[in-house]
């Protein structure tokens, strides 16, 4: 097992390379360079893996775990949710319209474009948020952001994008760069009683265990979402994963779809640009 000193040094090097001093102007923020450094760090850390392998999370890290993943995919535990999501997506609202009316291409094969920065609103829009806004615009009550129907809907929409590479855009807008930078800052900031950051687990220790969980690399971590987790005995969204992580480090979770979480999703998705969508997925 790698020493704690070595792991801490590696994570510090990545943080220093990508984050550095706090920017004082938008032109000091360079997402393209960030993504290049981020992907280079992980491909050098795991030289036997191709970049596209990282989307399978811990199952990509060794042959035994990869075989486990292949076995799971024969009878995937998320299949029930996928079927439900397809049914929910096609079911008309009370006004006769449907989810397809709210999205480009009828909502099919578009997962790789979310989240995006809405220049009119000046905020990051995630797929989960867009689905609930679609419902509310058509007179329907919003869904829980963390599981059940929302997880099923995002599972179905994600499945229709399988194999398509993340293609997250950062428009030439200072507010978009600020949202991206806020997401990066959140990723590297320590919090909670355990004083962990997202990077503590997913940059320093991918492949290691924390309790029963095998930690995934941060690269490609959202490409497999939403996921079925044995711990949950069900499906969970990106919102559920973020709030659960905050709870596990004995921090105070934010409200699902808080600006900080949306910015974090924007950052993590952007630095995984070019890696294929693999979700919905399953994890221990």
- The string of pLDDT tens digits covering residues 162-173 is 999 999 999 999
Percent of the chain whose predicted confidence (pLDDT) is above 90: 75
The question of whether 122 is a catalytic residue gets the answer no
Token duo for residue 61: 């890290």
Radius of gyration of the chain (CA): 18
Rounded distance, CA 251 to CA 44, Å?
Answer: 32
What sign does the dihedral 72-165-26-171 (CA atoms) show?
A: negative
Contact by Cβ (8 Å): 179, 123 = yes
For residue 15, what pLDDT is reported? 53
Give the list of residues 6+ apart from residue 3 with CB closer than 8 angstroms, or none: none
CATH number of 4-76+172-283: 1.10.760.10
Residue 69 pLDDT class (50, 70, 90 cuts) = confident
pTM for the predicted model, two decimal places = 0.90
Q: What's the mean pLDDT in 224-247?
A: 93
Q: What's the mean pLDDT in 95-101?
A: 98
Catalytically annotated residue among 65, 88, 245, 254: 245
Residue 100 pLDDT class (50, 70, 90 cuts) = very high
Is 245 annotated in a binding site? The answer is yes
Structural domain spans, the chain: 4-76+172-283, 79-159
Model confidence at 2: pLDDT above 50: no
Chain position carrying tokens 């940059």: 203
| Average pLDDT value over all residues in the chain | 89
What is residue 50's three-state secondary structure? coil
What architecture is the 79-159 domain classified under in CATH? Orthogonal Bundle (1.10)
Is 240 annotated in a binding site? The answer is no
Is 102 annotated in a binding site? The answer is yes
Count of residues in the chain: 284
Is 175 annotated in a binding site? The answer is no
């Amino acid at each position: 097992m790698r020493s704690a000193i070595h792991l801490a040094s590696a994570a510090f090097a990545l943080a220093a390379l990508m984050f550095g001093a706090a920017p004082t102007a938008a032109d000091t923020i360079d997402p393209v360079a960030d993504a290049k450094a981020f992907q280079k760090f992980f491909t050098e850390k795991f030289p036997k893996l191709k970049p596209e392998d990282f989307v399978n999370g811990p199952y990509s890290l060794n042959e035994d775990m990869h075989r486990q993943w292949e076995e799971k995919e024969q009878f995937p535990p998320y299949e029930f949710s996928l079927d439900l999501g397809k049914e929910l997506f096609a079911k008309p609202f009370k006004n006769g319209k449907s989810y397809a009316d709210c999205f480009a291409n009828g909502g099919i094969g578009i997962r790789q474009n979310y989240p995006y920065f809405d220049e009119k609103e000046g905020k990051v829009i995630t797929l989960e948020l867009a689905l609930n806004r679609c419902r509310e615009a058509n007179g329907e009550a919003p869904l829980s952001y963390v599981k059940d129907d929302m997880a099923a809907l995002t599972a179905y929409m994600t499945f229709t994008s399988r194999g398509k590479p993340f293609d997250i855009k950062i428009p030439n807008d200072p507010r978009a760069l600020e949202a991206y930078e806020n997401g990066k800052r959140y990723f590297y900031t320590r919090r909670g009683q355990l004083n962990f950051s997202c990077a503590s687990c997913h940059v320093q220790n991918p492949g290691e265990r924390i309790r029963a969980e095998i930690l995934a690399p941060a690269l490609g971590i959202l490409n497999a979402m939403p996921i079925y987790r044995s711990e949950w005995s069900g499906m969970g969204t990106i919102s559920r994963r973020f709030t659960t992580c905050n709870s596990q480090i004995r921090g105070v979770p934010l409200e699902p779809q808080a600006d900080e979480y949306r910015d974090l999703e924007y950052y993590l998705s952007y630095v995984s640009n070019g890696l294929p969508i693999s979700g919905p997925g399953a994890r221990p």
